[in-house]
Structure 1
Amino acid sequence: MRRIGSTLFILAAAFSASAQQKIKKDTVSLGEVIVSASRKPEVLDKVPSSVTVVSRKTLERDLTITTDITEILANEVPGLAPSAQTNSNVGQSLRGRSVLIMIDGIPQSTPLRNGEVDLRSIDPAVLERVDVLKGATAIYGNGATGGLINYITLTPKDAGAISGKTTLNLTGSLTSPKNSLGGRVGQLLYGRIGKFDYTVSGVYEQNGEFKDAKGNILGNNYSLGETESYNGFVKLGYEPARRQRIQLMYNYYSSQQNSNYTLVNGDFLTGKPATGVLGKQPGEPTGVKGNHNLQLSYQADSLIGGTSLHADAYYTSRDDIFYVSIGRFEGGDGQSHTLSKKKGLRFMFSSPLTKMGSLSYGTDIIGDVTSQPLVDGRVWVPEMKMFNVAPFAETEWTFLDNIILKGGVRIEKVKIGVEDYTTLRITNAAGGTVTPSFAVKGGDLKYTATLFNAGLRYNRFPLFTPYASFSQGFSVADVGLALRDAKVDNISKINTEAVLVNNYELGFVSKYKQLRFELTGFVSTSKLGAEMVYDVNTDLFNVARTPERIYGFEAAVQYSPLHNLDMGASYSYVEGKADTGRIDDKYDAYLNGRRIAAPKIGANIHYRPVNGLEVGLQYTGIQERNRFVKLPSGLYKGNEGIVKAYNLFNLNASYRLTKNALVTLGVENLFNEDYFPARSQWFMIPGFYSKGKGRAFNIGIAVNY
């Protein structure tokens, strides 16, 4: 069973050791709802825009079902496109645009060559919460044209000298258990000694084979079946004086597939899913080979005149490996990987202006080196060296105790240097030339943009709390994609103009006793688009730079009718069109499935019938989206496939055996829905036309001490 036996031995040994230790209460908790919706932490009720906070409690519930953060967020965040249940988050847009992924404010995304694998950057077990800010924003820099997702890592609160948590899980398929068993072990230690605090965590997970509702192997292009994942996390804090803190954080994450199967392509026309047959998988294991994040930060809240300072320096590097392209490149098969290294320095001062207002101001500096070579050394996308300086200022005013006004400005200055390079000759299945190889003269690409944001919120009446906002986002789009598919001999001739997005949002929150309802409408416009269009004839992706308009709405309700019963539901709808210039109507063509997700319904219920027992049911429904006309072949144009509706239910339950020992059970796809995830449907590419997971289980135990 390919190392499963040894994994289970490790799990059993770890449990035996942890069960003999003295148990203490786990004191890591979310606490007050503070979010990173601006450059300084603020209370959620003061934010004049739509923010979803996935709390520690919610993460722990969802982890009893799945550890895939792309699936967790898709189930919890209205406006985020469905998960494809793979290592790749291709098409998992936020409100139809790209999302910037961060860990404690450190950018994980690679907008210079967007491989769309950045959602899986850290194990959710070390997260305190996830802040999702929707709509274009420039507060953290380049790449957040659809919003940002900030993974906030654990920090101990009110802990003793040593506390900890040991978790053990056994996973597998309920439709065909053979070779599907997997395991997970996690160890968390944290504490506070005088002015010093620490958090240390290690997680290891090995998945067995993933099966569909009929018990068949899922197609293994980026599948999370047969993957091994590691996460090591350390956070050290020191408070030299009252209201000052120095903090050092390091996180390492790796998740790669080691499959015993080779791919058997699917067929969209016949409905045949991609699957696998026994055999050696070509190339290196796909997935996150290594993602490193190192951050040193300093915070002081007691400077002259009440001014506070928050400064940090960080370094991050990641290596993401993609599948082998058979016969695509001159010289044989090719397997690419994106390499990205970032160094950043940021500082921000926050000063009170009056009793009603404050001003925050600072500068972000970042150096980013990104490339996409083949693993054998051939250059597909050359190194792009970006240097970005961005001064910014934000102000907040409170009038009559209930009117909150915010505004800000950010100036982006970006320079990207590219050396002379030679494109790779791209071939078709017969070995013929699709694009020739030729020399391209390098040079510098420069961008300057001034971005604004403003928001207003009125908190006088809990029954109706309206808000409105305008914000702008900036992205250099996918420069690497343009470079690798260059058809000209000089990068100055390549259309690499940056994308500037305007986001308009209007919404309200209504609270009555144990009921909370929020409704948000939005419009997002840009003069340039960054849509990648797949050409079935050339097997290439090209960037379509056309004006775009995206719009939609989101509704979410939470209700606790009893002290032991919590319920929630949400609905999100997004639509988008581009102006292709074909007809007088300004926006005449729908954006495809890679950009615009089908409507999504979410619901959950959590019931605690007796002390120590909780049972929950989670529902995610993906609705139909049918906007495009079939080709004579019966296929659709690239990324335009019809998305047919499907409905997924997940069960989670927990029972407290003792004061500090919790047993958990999760059942994914409870009713064993036989379906193709939305991406498989609109993507249509034979190697990715894979079904979703069938019914699967996750049994675990957590011991706090």
Structure 2
Amino acid sequence: MFNQLQRLLVTTGTLSAATILAMATRADAKDAVAPRITTTVTDWVTQIEAAIVQIIDVQIAETEAGLQVVLETTDGRLATPVTTTSGDAVILEIPNTRLSLSVGETFEQFAPAEGIALVSVTNLPDNRVQISITGTDAPPQAEVSADAGSLFLSVVPGIETATDLGDETIEDEAIRLVVTATRTEEDILDVPRSVTVITREEIEQQSRVTPNFYDTLGTLVPGLGPPNQADRSNAQTLRGRGTLFLIDGVPVESNLLGGNGLRGLDPAIIERVEVVRGPTGLYGSGATGGVINIITRRPEEASTAWAEFGISADLGALEDDSFAYDLGFGGSGTEGRLDYVLNFSAQFTDQFYDAEGDVIPQSFPTLAESTILSGFGRLGFDLTDEQRIQLSVNHIRDRQDVDNLADPIVRDIPGRQKARAVEFALDFDDVEEPGSTSTNVDLTYSHDNVGGSRLQAQAYYYDIGVRDLPFDGRNGIFLDVISYGEFESEAYGGRLQIETPITQLLELLWGADYRNERNQRILDILDPDAFDAGVARSIDQRTQNPPYVIDQLGLFAQLQWELSPSFTLSGGIRQEFVELSVDDYTTIFGDDVEGGEVDFDATVFNIGAVYRATDNLSLFTSFSQGFSAPGFATVLGSPPPIFSIDEGFEELEPQTVDNYEIGVRGQWGNVQASLAGFYAYSDLGSFVREIPGSSRVRVGRAPQRNYGVEATLDWQPAEQWRLGGTFTWNEGESDFNDDGEFLALGTFSVQPWKLTAYVENQTTPTWNNRLQLLYSGNRDRAFDDGIETVPMEEYITFDLISQLQLGEGTLSLAVENLLDTQYFPVFAQVLSGFNDANYRAARGRRISLTYSISF
């Protein structure tokens, strides 16, 4: 451990020195044209900081009319704030300014005066400071004046009008911490569930280490499996069960593919990510482990553009084929009642190397040799002050070249063997290259006052196709052929929800959801002679997963009752109707299956309570039920003997999960913390189970229970320092044989315990450094119970992120796997139980350099 720490300090010091050297080089270049000669790095940093006005103190005093906010500066040269209104808040944004308080980087004061709920002052990217003043009933009025090195805001509380009812929108996210993943906006302290909110700044920061969205979630979200360095979220469950992915409240996953297709999601289009941990039925089928709601970027009041360029490479030998590049540009703005957001990005990757200097083989979930192109657009129009319509389109195209494959020889070597890459350039003749293409379109209409209620209606379309790398199943491994398949999923649907205030303290949310989804998987059988010669050419097609259609209709109602200022009760019900339709088909193994239709429904409930012990501390408890149809593709593709759609109801029957949770969370100035425990049980679980002696899996259906503990802590002990972390421990068992004996679930379902930690230092007002670690523990329960063929081994990784304000933009230096540790991600360890050719090592030490700018 001492040697690791010593290496960490030496490496960190070296990288910091390299950053300073780059800064000095930049300074020397500026000296060539600057009238004043800068002779040291310190002088250069001082020049940059001198151009930024520092706010050193924030004071609030109550007045007869409302309150006064005073911002004290170093020299009083604050620019005139840009003022906007959003919901019940007035927002003032000051450019070329930074908040530099003696304690913390954020100022907050709750209920400083009657009619004022919150005053907050925070730093924004690109040297901007935002002041948000939220009214209790309506947006306050703020008058700005300046005198003797200070900026004064005279604030008068707003007066509620009839049109203010239901006026809170998703744009309130920048004002106070709310959770739209529960389908209504709420203060996070009033939600009777475990909740994680990831801001745009956090997402952008983590994307400097890796742009893979799944890895960002695995690093930041407690309860979620650790990063798996793959193009999908396999072996990355939430509390040991399935996760429902949403974009702006619309499901972006399928029964066949889950939440695949998001690894190329550009962080620049994300405003925030909200995660509700634990089963919920609010969005229908799929959220037995929780909901991850990706909220896309909101338009700016003034026209704004942004751009970034990044380059990364493995540090082992800086091999030419380890370089990767990413670039992106976009813009947003508002013109009268019209607003827009546009963004385009591209990622180009080559090979990746492990810590031992070996190429990581290109097996199906890797990210190597990829070209990812993505585009996002949103156009919104305010029909009236109360009505709005907007159209959003997001498209991601990912294609992968093949220069190597996993060497099959490792299958025949005794003992656990690391996957090896063997050079093998493969051209694709009459079939498309590996990769994925996804498109989602969302049309939203909202009306803030329909007889005193707020209405929101959405219509959407979602389409995704995924092609994995060819699989050489010769020698009897899989069908004795070379297979190359495409997953196809298409869905359309609509959502309607209405928020109706019954009394001032009682509010009802009600509505309906509809979704029609079609899935199938077709396998191309490749010509073996052409394949050995480096050409993928189809000679036959077989149906691995027959076309099947799922129709879903859900009706829901949710009630929230504020019994007192400190006690809130909420509860709801959802009725779900599902129909599965499958035609007669023959499995890929030659078994004939009679098709048909199966109808089933489920009724799920939830109830929760929150007690505000103080303004900063809340206690919560809840009972919630989640509902999920099993992975029909696995059931239909590998059915049990003598199976038909009409008679195989137990294999097809959905699961209902009962979840019990208790927790506490608090936000005290410079400390934020949470602790929660949960227990979830289902009479008929749904989990992936290995078929011994084969490379196949099947869906297990038996009683299932999951339980665990999650904790978070963030602390800002001084103005320049931030530190914290998360802790996740969960376990799960199933009564596989229905004999009362519960055995451990496999690691596909339950990942090892996880610990994350970080320390962040604002070294100067323009230079920030963050060191973070992730520890994934051992897990051998499933191995000991005979459920898995290999135990899961522990590993620990460190990452460094250094960000420097340069001019109008930010230069970021990130080092992934700082200590160059050789380890194997959890997903690779799980797959090695089937085949050592899947036992891929993780990436070694890798450096990334990114410059981003907004203007």
Q: Is the TM value for this pair above 0.5? A: yes
Give distance in 1, aligned partners of 2:545 and 2:490. Answer: 15
Matched, 1:608 2:754: no
Matched, 1:216 2:358: yes
Contact residue 264 and residue 398 of structure 2 kept, 8 A: no
- Opposite residue 306 of structure 2, the aligned amino acid is K
Deviation at 1:282, TM superposition (A): 7.5
Matched, 1:690 2:840: yes
Give distance in 2, aligned partners of 1:589 and 1:665. Answer: 46
- Opposite residue 95 of structure 1, the aligned amino acid is R
What SS does structure 2 have at the residue aligned with 1:320? strand
- Opposite residue 277 of structure 1, the aligned amino acid is V
Deviation at 1:257, TM superposition (A): 2.3
Q: Report what 1:10 is aligned to.
A: none
- Opposite residue 438 of structure 2, the aligned amino acid is N
- Opposite residue 64 of structure 1, the aligned amino acid is R
Q: Report what 1:188 is aligned to.
A: 330
Give distance in 2, aligned partners of 1:511 and 1:351. Answer: 30
Q: Report what 2:673 is aligned to.
A: 517
Deviation at 1:153, TM superposition (A): 0.8
Match of 1:308 among 454, 464, 468: 454
Contact residue 261 and residue 436 of structure 2 kept, 8 A: no
Deviation at 1:378, TM superposition (A): 2.2
CA change 1:443–1:492 in 2 (3 A) is: same
Match of 2:790 among 638, 641, 645: 641
Structure 1: gaps spanning 5 or more residues = 1-22, 426-436, 631-635
- More contact order relative to length (CA 8 Å, sep ≥ 6): 1
CA change 1:165–1:458 in 2 (3 A) is: same
Q: Report what 1:384 is aligned to.
A: 548
Q: Report what 1:19 is aligned to.
A: none
Deviation at 1:329, TM superposition (A): 6.2
Give distance in 1, aligned partners of 2:250 and 2:435. Answer: 17
Contact residue 743 and residue 782 of structure 2 kept, 8 A: no
- Opposite residue 43 of structure 1, the aligned amino acid is D
Matched, 1:627 2:781: yes
Q: Report what 2:228 is aligned to.
A: 84
Match of 1:550 among 706, 714, 717: 706
Matched, 1:589 2:743: yes
Q: How does 1:149-548 map to 2 (within 5 A)?
A: 149-157=292-300, 159-160=301-302, 162-178=303-319, 179-221=321-363, 222-265=365-408, 266=410, 270-281=415-426, 288-304=435-451, 306-327=452-473, 332-375=481-524, 377-425=541-589, 437-462=590-615, 464-486=617-639, 487-488=641-642, 490-494=644-648, 495-548=651-704
Give distance in 1, aligned partners of 2:426 and 2:772. Answer: 35
Aligned residue pairs total: 660
Q: Report what 1:63 is aligned to.
A: 207
Matched, 1:663 2:811: yes
Deviation by residue 1:579-626 (Cα, 9 ceiling, x = unmatched): 13475xx35201111111111001112211211111011111111112
Give distance in 2, aligned partners of 1:697 and 1:344. Answer: 43
The TM-score with structure 2 as length reference comes to 0.74
Deviation at 1:126, TM superposition (A): 1.2
Give distance in 1, aligned partners of 2:621 and 2:421. Answer: 50
Deviation at 1:330, TM superposition (A): 5.5
Deviation by residue 1:490-518 (Cα, 9 ceiling, x = unmatched): 22232211111111110001333311110
Deviation at 1:485, TM superposition (A): 1.3
Contact residue 288 and residue 318 of structure 1 kept, 8 A: no
Deviation by residue 1:491-550 (Cα, 9 ceiling, x = unmatched): 223221111111111000133331111000000101112121122423221222110111
Deviation by residue 1:610-665 (Cα, 9 ceiling, x = unmatched): 111110111111111121457xxxxx95645212211111100111111x121111
Q: How does 1:92-131 map to 2 (within 5 A)?
A: 92-111=236-255, 113-114=256-257, 117-120=260-263, 122-131=265-274
- Which shows bigger deviation, 356-365 or 274-283? 274-283
Q: Report what 2:772 is aligned to.
A: 618
What SS does structure 2 have at the residue aligned with 1:37? helix
What SS does structure 2 have at the residue aligned with 1:183? strand
Matched, 1:675 2:823: yes
Structure 2: gaps spanning 5 or more residues = 1-94, 97-124, 129-170, 525-537
Deviation by residue 1:645-702 (Cα, 9 ceiling, x = unmatched): 11111100111111x1211111000111111112222332322100011000110111
Match of 2:277 among 121, 129, 134: 134
Give distance in 1, aligned partners of 2:757 and 2:696. Answer: 39
- Opposite residue 342 of structure 1, the aligned amino acid is A
Q: Report what 1:576 is aligned to.
A: 732
CA change 1:521–1:224 in 2 (3 A) is: same
Q: Report what 1:13 is aligned to.
A: none
Matched, 1:147 2:147: no
Contact residue 616 and residue 652 of structure 1 kept, 8 A: yes
Contact residue 90 and residue 116 of structure 1 kept, 8 A: no
The TM-score with structure 1 as length reference comes to 0.90
Deviation at 1:101, TM superposition (A): 1.2
Give distance in 2, aligned partners of 1:329 and 1:269. Answer: 21
CA change 1:574–1:616 in 2 (3 A) is: same
Deviation at 1:281, TM superposition (A): 3.9
What SS does structure 1 have at the residue aligned with 2:204? helix
CA change 1:610–1:331 in 2 (3 A) is: closer
Deviation by residue 1:368-410 (Cα, 9 ceiling, x = unmatched): 1111122464211111111111111011111221211111111
Q: Report what 1:12 is aligned to.
A: none
- Opposite residue 327 of structure 2, the aligned amino acid is V
CA change 1:549–1:316 in 2 (3 A) is: same
Give distance in 1, aligned partners of 2:422 and 2:456. Answer: 54
Contact residue 513 and residue 555 of structure 2 kept, 8 A: yes
- Opposite residue 254 of structure 2, the aligned amino acid is T
Deviation at 1:570, TM superposition (A): 1.1
Which entry has the higher C-alpha Rg, 1 or 2? 2
- Opposite residue 766 of structure 2, the aligned amino acid is G
What SS does structure 2 have at the residue aligned with 1:679? helix
Deviation at 1:466, TM superposition (A): 0.6
Quote the RMSD (CA, aligned, Å): 2.2
Give distance in 2, aligned partners of 1:638 and 1:276. Answer: 29
- Which shows bigger deviation, 641-650 or 25-34? 25-34
Give distance in 2, aligned partners of 1:691 and 1:469. Answer: 41
Contact residue 370 and residue 400 of structure 2 kept, 8 A: yes
Give distance in 1, aligned partners of 2:381 and 2:487. Answer: 36
Give distance in 1, aligned partners of 2:738 and 2:462. Answer: 44
What SS does structure 1 have at the residue aligned with 2:646? helix
CA change 1:317–1:613 in 2 (3 A) is: same
Contact residue 577 and residue 587 of structure 1 kept, 8 A: no
What SS does structure 2 have at the residue aligned with 1:608? strand
Matched, 1:46 2:46: no
Structure whose residues are more often helix by fraction: 2
CA change 1:170–1:351 in 2 (3 A) is: same
Give distance in 2, aligned partners of 1:32 and 1:373. Answer: 48
CA change 1:506–1:131 in 2 (3 A) is: same
